[in-house]
Structure formats: structure tokens, C-alpha cells
Amino acid sequence: MKLGTSVLRRTAHSLAFILLLAQAAPAQDERLTSLLEGAVTFSLPAEWAEQRHVDGPRHGYAHLKIPYAEAERAGQTARAALSAGAVPPGVTVRHISDGVYQNKYEGLAVIRDDLDGDEWRTVVWKAKFDAAPYLTLHRFGVSAGKQVELMVSLPLVEGAGADAWLARAVEQFNAACESLKIDGKNKFGTRLKPDKITAALKAKR
């Protein structure tokens, strides 16, 4: 009888510990998958760590950190930002994306600029922030009175694994863009090729 009671107690303690871990660890289905209360949907890479997000019927955003040990050792950070909001009638994707060319960042150079129909656009550009070179992958969309913007900023650091890490980040951006929808709709024909991005960066040094 005492043995049975002891086993039950140990089982109860184990279950309590498992429940405590379950409460402390975020579940997979808790990952952010939408903004504007479901009007804008997406699937982000699992390793992009959400730092903050706010959502509402007319505006929402999320800030995420992308792990990159080599850059962090140099005091730099890879980040992603996703925002969505309501826009007035007549606003097009060009209205919200042409501003890239008007930025006053040091060394600004546009590497690619591709329209996917009338509602989606991808702009790839490089510039310096605090004297450090960054590559920015920028996706814009406008449809049915709503806009969405995904911006991924990647430090361009030297190192043996730099090209491989950049290639992985570009493919993650492609996957995020392919999943990004406004009211369930998207047009994604501009899949970035990591080798061409790398070649273009070297040509603009």
C-alpha cells in the first residue's frame, strides 16, 4: 500500500513538472501567422524569433530577430519586420514602395526591383547603417484597401560561412513571401536566387 502511494506521488510530481514545462515553452501553434485580425496571413521561418508584435483591425506589425552568430560577434543583428495596415482608395504598391529610392542611407544601391502584377513588388537593396553594410530584402503588397510590407535586413559580414548563411536567409525570405497573402491572395513570381544576389553584391563593391 505504501509502495502504491509512493508511486502515485512520484507520478503526480512528474505530471506537475511536465505541465510546468508545457506552460513555460511556447507551443508551435502559438507562432504568429496573421495580422489585421486574419486579413493578412503568412508562415515565417521557425528560427526567426519574434520579439514583439501588435495587431488590430487597421494596423499590425511584428519585429523578429534572425540568428546569425558571426554578425552578432561583430555587434550587428539580422532582423525581419512585418507590417500591415489599411490604406485609402487609390493607393497602389508603387505608392508604398517607391520610397526605397528616396532613402538617404549611405551607399544606397538597388540590386533588384521586380513587380509581380499590379499589387506586389520585391526590391533588393544594400546600404550602410552605422557604417556597417547591410543587404535588405523588401516585399510589398497592396490589395483591397490593405497593404503589407516584409523587410529583412541582413548584415554583410566577412567569414567562411557568410555566403552559405546569406543563401539560406534568401531562401527563407522566398518562402515567407510565397506564403504572404492579403485576403487569401498572392502573386509571387520573383523568387530570388542566392547566387545572383551574391554576384550582384560583389559587383557593387
pTM of the complete model: 0.84
Task: Check residues 17 and 193 and name the one with the higher pLDDT.
Answer: 193
Contacts of 89 (CB under 8 A, 6+ apart): 145
**26-47 pLDDT, tens digit each:** 444 478 999 999 999 999 999 9
Instruction: Quote the CA–CA distance of 204 and 111 in Å, as a whole number.
Output: 9
CA dihedral 156, 178, 142, 116 (to 10 degrees): 90
- Reported as a pLDDT band with limits 50, 70 and 90, residue 144 is very high
**40-85 pLDDT, tens digit each:** 999 999 999 999 999 999 999 999 999 999 899 889 999 999 999 9
Phi, psi of 150 (to 5 degrees): -115, 120
What is the crossing angle of helices 162-179 and 194-203, to 10°? Answer: 120
